Each structure stands twice: as structure tokens, then as C-alpha cells.
Chain A
């Protein structure tokens, strides 16, 4: 009893404090990436949080050189030496699960853990399946299982709407007092499919965290499985000093990875996430985090071959199939003088974000984390579900129904952690042609009703759409060469029920020609008279 009392008084070890501090910092930073609706936080905070994310950085490295590509190498190096510190301190999903378990501990009582053998067939099977899938050019498994992207999707689909509601509530309250300092934010991008999937995923993760600690990280997560392999031989790790251990079993009971087998004094370092809880709970100080060269394989090798891959794959396919495209938009009452008839054609794929380079590049690199969706100030980037097919699960796309791509903006490229959307300078981005505009003359209000409209030409940033006088009205005319495919014309086209102008997406992005320009300054003196002209 006295030992227990003294343990209670003892504060957390410096190592655990460091872990909690780092986890807090990274968790905050990652949340800012997805929830900073006003873009008020400086870029370096986004970049720091994202830099250390293993899979996004690894994917970046497969596509391009750059600082962002070194994050995974750093994580890999740290894991090879210090074990899976990444999983407890950096991974937002891991930290989230720890927080869930912590809340349960505070509300009721801590989870009673005990050693469980590793489920190697499942975890390495899923890892292999993910790698094979990626090698064959499909991001499906990564997009289903990557912890960072799953966390991002949860944040964007489930938490962001709450943040927006809170923001708008506060804005409304201030407005009552004539203060408009809090800008309201539109509640766009609510997709039932995304909400459904992320809710399901959140339920899975929370239930696992509440009952089995880090079972997700050690059974399903491909990053956990891969880093586990790297951590197996890490020289710095949790050790149990034989001579000091009294065999009380406290460390085994507190281990969220179920990886301490006290009976045989074995720790499965491939599953240990270096949370350091065992160090604090050990009454004799027998559990230490220290340096030791591996003498023998600590875990008996798993028998059999990973045969569960197909099942995992089929399950993934099933999940994806269950998620049908998002619900249609709400019905609005509109007055249409003469309804048009021609339907806008369907395309094999939606408009790729500027910087996506090509369909192959984009769908081979994007993990669907929705960091770009969260950053897009024009709300034109929307979370996709199966818009790119199953291999492109959750990948975002340019949706002219929601908005149009702002000419002076390249934030999606800056937000993308994997290089799926290449970051271009503003000047370069302004020449990217994501598609070209097509005009359906027989759908156009001007042609049908003989009344002026021209909304498309008004919004066009390059004047790829101009108005040409035909009788008493002006009819749109398009110049595909200088079109950027931003979708402004399609977004604002008021024709009903079909648009009369639309963007035909490019499979491989092109470079738009510069719009013709002629200096007009010399025309001023031509005004004549007193200059006022009236």
C-alpha cells in the first residue's frame, strides 16, 4: 500500500512529459491545418505539423525533391534508433486515440490491458496489400488506412462544420452589438457520404481505443506496421531490468499496445509506441528506456503466410462501394423564362486542381487527406468520394457547382503534403490550364430569350469568354487558348436547368496562352472638349 501511495505522489517522468508536450504541439498544429477556417495562422505552423507526417512525406519523396521529402527520412532515422516515438508524439490519429483513452480513464477507470500476441498476418498482410496496391498505381489502400489522411478527413467532415457553426454563432452575437470583427464562414462542403464514412471510421477508432488501446495502430495501420518493422532492432528502447523487477505486472496492465509479456519478460518492440507509461507505473524502476543492442529476436516469428490480404482488400472494396456519391443539392425555386434543353456532357473524371499535373500523377499521389479542401478560400475544391473511381477514393476535385478557382490563389499547392498538388508560384499557377471552356449556344439565355446576360464573361479572369454583339444583344464567344479552366463561367452561368457554358477537364494539364494585351494610356487625350464630355 505504501508503495502505491508513493507512486501516486510521483509526477510523470521527464520522458513522458516530453512525449505529452510534443504530442500536444503536433496535435494542435495538425488541427490548425484542417480547422483554421480563416487562414489566420502563419504558414510555418502548417508546414511544421505536416513536415513530420510519415506517409505524406514519403509520397512527396516518390514524386519530387524538396524539404518536404526529408520528413519521412527523419522519421525513419528516429524510428530506427528510438523506436516508434512517431506513433505517440507525431501521429494525430494515435494522439487522438490516447486522448480518448485518457478521457475514459478520468471518467471511469483505466483500461485493463494484458499481453496479447501480435496479429502479424493481418498487419503485415495489410501492409503488403497497401504496398502492392500502391505499386500497381492505386491509392485505394493508402486512402482507406493512412492515419494522417483519415484524421484529416474526420477533422474536415465532422469537426470543421462545428467550428464553422461556433464561429458563425459568435459572429452573430457580435453583430447584435454592431461589431463585424468575426467574419462568418459559409457551411459548404457537407457531404453525407464523407460524414457517414468518417463517422464509421471514428466509431471504429474510438471503440478500439476504449477497449484495446492501440490495437488499430498495431493491426490495421500500414504506417504502424512499417515503423514497427523498423523499430524491431532499435537500440534505444524500453527494457525491463531483470534484477529490479518484482513481477507485479503493473507495466503489462498499463501497456496500451498489449506488448509487454511479463511472464517471459519480453517486450514486443515492433508494437511498442514509446508512450513511457510503463516507466511511470513501475514501482521499482525496473522498466527503463535505454540503450541495448538486440541480442536475439525478441518475438517468436509468426507462422504461416499473410493470407488475409484478399479479405482485407475485399472489405475495403465493400466499404468503398457502400459509399455512393454525395446527395444532390437542395431544390431552389427559380424563375426561368425559357428553360433550356441540352445536357452538359459527363466526363470520365472531374477537373483536377491546378498543380495536379495529370490524372496519373494526381491519383497516384493523393491520399485524400483534404488539407487542400480545408485551405481553399473559394470553396471550389470539394472532397470527392468516387469521382475518380475506386482507385481515387476520397480525392478532392474542382467543383464549379460550389465555387470557382481564384486566379490569385495557390494555397492548395502549399497545403498539399504529398506533392499530389504541386506547389507553383502565383505567376506559374496563373498559366495552368486545368481544362477548357465549352459553350452550348442553344442553352444560352441570350440566344433563347434575346435579353442580355453575360455573367460568364464578367467573371472570366482572362477574357477567354467575350461578348459579341448579335443584333440587340451580346452573345458569349470562347477562346480556348487563353482559358484556365477555373470554372468561374460555369459557376455563375444562370441558365436553367442546364448550364450553357462548362469546363471540359484536361487529363493532362496544359499551359494557357497569355491573354492579348494592349496599352491604352495614349487614348486619354482623345477625349476632346473640356474633358468632361457632357
Chain B
């Protein structure tokens, strides 16, 4: 890890930890009250994002002029958008566009894919959408982009190699797709961060759930946007056919990754307490599973 990313990380950690301990955001004195979670239903991905981010305080709340924005969708599989194994391309396209409109200097999009990466980027439709919107697709399958970092608050995953853009980004936005997952039950925000590290096998070998929670302590995404437009209900995370999906037409966003995952799990129809990495992340102070303590905004379109 270079000094720059170390400093940035430290600052992030301090802010994150401080905010969690003080029961943010109420104590951030002059800041206006934004919802902790905004949930939308019934619209197209672009519309839902526009309305949702407006409720969250607008894209300018997260992106300042000339900042580098990194958007991390799930592009794990060489499958078409209607299979819902990857994040919706229209949503990503709109997020890139909004980031640039807010004055972002550069918008990068990447994932460390499971299938052959160029095919995933193509078939998911994300490469096309990002290019169209003026963003940059970055390869995630090349070792030299990964840097070794220490994860100070981790129980198991004390060190890991993470993508340099994840480490260096001014603004990091996590955009998973909500889907069934064969080994962890559900994959949402925190699980999606496995796509910014190099050696996932290590996680699988050394208590997967704990590693997911451990890594979530490293850098809390500035915003977690969970795509639930089309949802893979069974046979996840890849899915076998379109029959495995349902059209839910929903979107969730939150600055608290644990709260975002909790709400998404409920929306999916699953008890969040059944997913052990969520509890572990809450115990590490990443966020809260107690939705009743949060300011939630629900929007029907």
C-alpha cells in the first residue's frame, strides 16, 4: 500500500468509525437530514436511480468537482442482462452519467470477474453503457492492479490484495445486484466487494463469512446502491436460465452497507439473521441491522 492510499484509508476509517460510534448522521451538526435508506419500486432503473439519489441529497452530495469516482457493479458472469447475474447496465450507465454531471473528473468501472472478463464486460451490456455515458471500463483481472493492504480491524483477513482504484478512489460506489447465492445465501453489497480483491480462494478457505465482514471494515463505500430490478431468486449467483429470475423493479440505496443489505434481504424475502456475514459485520461496527433505528424513505413510482 502506498502512502496516499494509507492516508486516505485512515481518514475514511476515522470518519466511518466516528460516525458509527456517534450514531450518525444526527450529530453532524449543520448537515441536513437525509434518509439513511431510500428504497424505490415500480420504475425503470434510470428513473428509480434519479429519484432515489435526489432523495438522498443529490449526486453532488457524494461527488465533488474533479474527483475520481469508482463504480463497482457485479459483472461476474458472461450472461445477458435479463439473466440478472450482473448489475443492470442501464443503472450503471445512469450512475456514470450522474457522476459526470456532478463534476467528476474521471469515472471508472470495473469488476474482478469470474468468467473471462472481456466477455463479461461485453455481454453484461455494462461496457457499452459506461462508454456511452463517458466513463472508463478498467480491467479487473490483471494482478499488477492489486496492492497488498493490511485490514486493521479484521479478525481473519488481516491482509489482502485489493484493486488500486478501490484504494485510491475519491468516491467509491458499490452497486451490487440482489441475488440468491449458493454459499452465502444472498449476495448484496458486502459480498460484492469480493470483486475488488485478487485472491478470493483465500476467503473461501478461511471462513468466508468472517472474511466478507472483515473486508467490509476496510473502506465503507460512500454509497451502496442495490439493484433489484430483475432478481435471481434461485440457482445463484450465476443462474441457469431466465426462469430463475423475477421482475421486482426495485432499487435501494444507503450510506450504511449493513443496513442496505438488511433491507435488501427483507425485500428478497429472506431473514437477514440467517446470513451470518451480516451479523459479523455489525459486530465489527460496519453498520447496523436494526432498521427501526433508521430514517427510511420509500418511494413508489
Contacts and interface: CB of A to CB of B under 8 A. Distances in A.
Does A pair with B?
A: yes
A294 interface: no
Interface centre among B118, B234, B238 (most CB of A within 10 A): B238
Contact of A520 (B115, B139, B246): B246
Contact of B266 (A186, A494, A534): A534
A213 to B, nearest CB: 43
A272 interface: no
A495 B243 contact: no
A331 interface: no
A496 B205 contact: yes
A519 B238 contact: no
Query: What is the predominant secondary structure among interface residues of chain B facing chain A?
Result: mixed
B167 to A, nearest CB: 15
Given A523-B246, A532-B39, A494 B204 contact: yes
B183 A474 contact: yes
Interface in B144-158: 144
B205 A453 contact: yes
Interface stretch (B58-66, B89-97, B206-214, B215-223): B206-214
Contact of A180 (B79, B138, B206, B241): B138
11 contacts: A377-B116, A406-B115, A406-B119, A454-B204, A459-B114, A459-B238, A461-B240, A462-B240, A494-B202, A531-B300, A533-B269
A348 interface: no
B184 A180 contact: no
Nearest to B211: A451
A180 B247 CA distance: 34
Interface in A330-347: 334-337
Interface size class of B (residues with CB under 8 A): 35 or more
A520 B234 contact: yes
Interface of B: 39, 41, 78-79, 106, 108, 114-116, 118-119, 123, 136-139, 141-142, 144, 181-184, 200-202, 204-210, 233-235, 237-238, 240-241, 243-248, 250, 262-263, 266-267, 269, 276, 291, 296, 298, 300
Interface of A: 38, 172, 178-180, 183-184, 186, 334-337, 377-378, 403, 406-409, 445, 449, 451-455, 457-463, 466-467, 474, 492, 494-496, 515, 517-521, 523-524, 527, 530-534
Contacts of A172: 144
B204 A178 contact: no
A399 B263 CA distance: 42
Contact of B118 (A183, A408, A474, A521): A183
B243 A518 contact: yes
A335 B202 contact: yes
Contacts of B141: 186
**Highest count of chain A CB atoms <10 Å: which of B210, B235, B250, B267:** B235
Given A406-B119, A458-B238, A337 B182 contact: no
B139 A183 contact: yes
A466 B236 CA distance: 10
Contacts of B269: 527, 533
